[in-house]
A and B are shown apart, each in its own frame.
Chain A
Amino acid sequence: MGNGTQLGRVRGLGAGGGAVVHHWWLQRVTAVGSLILVLWFVFSLVRLPSLDYASAVMWVRQPIVAVPLMLLIVSVFWHFRLGVQVMLEDYLHGSKRVIAMLALNFYTCALAALALFSVLKVALSAAAG
């Protein structure tokens, strides 16, 4: 507009138009989320009496487990998608990068959907099994 501060006038006008900062910030946010949730996940698995089917299902079925597990899936998958994107941008150019980014998005979304659906199926199915 011309009347803002100097900082206000240039903000968001970098090479990525703000998308780069957004990418950087989301990678940090998901890093913190993943750090907490993965530590919780690993310690919980180690503390389980057994990893057999019955114990694992009983563990995942609790809301206090299923909800953080789904948050973990979102945080970790989002985080690695952003990280792999940086690698692709470093090493691939032109159409190869576009194809690789598409493949990365499909891989991430398909796997995340499978993981989330699996948690829901176990958590919401009747305790009869």
Chain B
Amino acid sequence: MASRPTVQPARPLSPHLTIWKWRVHMAVSIVHRVTGHALAFGAVLIFAWWLAALASGPAYYRFFLDIVLSPFGAHMGSGIRHFIMDAGEGYDLVTSRRMAQATFAFSILATAGLWAWILAGGY
């Protein structure tokens, strides 16, 4: 008993992502958990914020819609930049900088465009 190790070796944690062979059942289970938590800390937050914005009046509601819809344009713009850089293009300093600027410009324009469409009654 005296020779018993006092430091426990690190044990794999449930659900043992690193030691089991990947199968579709496991993927479904993990996606269920991941999307559930994304909903709990993402969608639910936006949902509660939407209700609170609605309760706060028209000016704040408008601000809420501006904020919430802006990530679509922002992520789409920077995502296209990623595609180009993945292909091995645009790494020189000038082009790299211009693309980063264009990303932000696109985000703003896309958000404004989406808004123009919504306000024009498209949605």
B-contacting residues of A (Cβ < 8 Å)? Answer: 50-54, 56-57, 60, 69, 73, 76-77, 80-81, 83-84, 87, 90-91, 111-112, 114-115, 117-119, 121-122, 129
A54 to B54, CA, bound (A): 9
A124 to chain B, nearest CB (A): 10
| Residue in B40, B48, B61 whose CB lies within 8 Å of A83 | B40
Any A CB within 8 A of the CB of B123:
yes
A45: min CB distance to chain B, Å: 10
A83, B36: Cβ atoms closer than 8 Å: yes
- Besides A91-B14, A115-B52, A119-B55, 4 more A-B contacts (Cβ < 8 Å) are A53-B58, A54-B58, A60-B51, A60-B54
Is the pair B47, A115 in contact by a Cβ cutoff of 8 Å? yes
**B76 at the A/B interface (Cβ < 8 Å)?**
no
For chain B, residues 73 to 123, give those with C-beta under 8 angstroms from any C-beta of chain A: 118-119, 121, 123
Beta-carbon contact of A84 and B52 below 8 Å? no
Which residues from chain B contact A83 at a C-beta distance below 8 Å? 33, 36-37, 40
A73 to chain B, nearest CB (A): 8
Interface of A is mostly: helix
Given A118-B52, A118-B54, verify A56-B61 contact (CB < 8 Å).
yes
Does residue B27 face the partner (Cβ distance < 8 Å to A)?
Answer: no
The answer to the question of B31 belonging to the interface, with a C-beta cut-off of 8 Å to chain A, is no
Contact B33 A87 (CB under 8 A): yes
B57 near A129 (CB under 8 angstroms)?
Answer: yes
What chain B residues lie within 8 Å of A50 (beta carbons)?
118, 121, 123
A53 touches B55 (CB 8 A): no
The listed residue (A57, A73, A77, A87) touching B54 by CB distance below 8 A is A57
Report yes or no: A76 in contact with B44, Cβ–Cβ below 8 A: yes
| Given A80-B39, A84-B40; A56-B54 close (CB under 8 Å) | yes
Q: How far is the CA of A29 from the CA of B20 in the complex (A)?
A: 31
3 cross-chain pairs, A with B, having the tightest CB-CB distances, nearest first: A80-B40, A118-B51, A118-B55
- Give, as a whole number of angstroms, the nearest-CB distance from A109 to chain B: 12
Assess the B123–A122 pair: CB atoms within 8 A: no
- Kindly state whether residue B65 has any CB partner on chain A within 8 Å: yes
- Contact at A87–B55, with CB atoms within 8 Å? no
**Chain A residue contacts of B121, Cβ below 8 A:** 50
